[in-house]
Amino acid sequence: MSENASFVFSGKLRADIFVEFARHRAARLDLAIDIGSVSDEAIALTVRGASELVDAFEMACSLGPYQCLVLDVTRRDGLAA
């Protein structure tokens, strides 16, 4: 089943590195991704694709790249159009 999920990853981030990491993971998982607001404290984004792979994306980004420390994740689910 396909779904939309909106995330906010917050913590001690380096925005450029985190966004690159998120785009790479989304591509690997065959997810569409829209990047929202971006800062070194919080990054908002939305992904769309198979629900199992959205879960895998959340897991990957909650660990994050080596240079970033993710302290909190908020997620809001909604079925894809």
Partner 1 sequence: MNSPSNWHPLALSHSLEAGSSAGTRLFGKELVIWRDTGGLAHVWEDRCPHRGMKLSFGFVRGDHIACLYHGWQYDRGGYCQYIPAHPDLDVPKTFKVPVYSTEERSGMIWTTLSENPADAPEDRGDTLPLRSLYLDCAKDTAIAALGAVSLTPFASQGQADTTVNRVTETLYEVSSGQEGLLIGVQAVTDNRTALHLAIRGSRELFQGSGQRHFLDWALRLRYRIEHPRDTASAPRGATVEVS
- Name the site residues for partner 1 (rule: CB under 8 A): 27-30, 50, 52-53
Which one, 9 or 25, has the nearer CB to partner 1?
A: 25
Place of tokens 């396909």: 2
Q: Which residues of 45-64 are buried (b: 16+ CB within 10 A; e: fewer)?
A: bbbbbeeebbebbbebbeeb
Closest separation in Å from C-beta 16 to partner 1: 23
Closest separation in Å from C-beta 28 to partner 1: 6
Which one, 13 or 48, has the nearer CB to partner 1?
A: 48
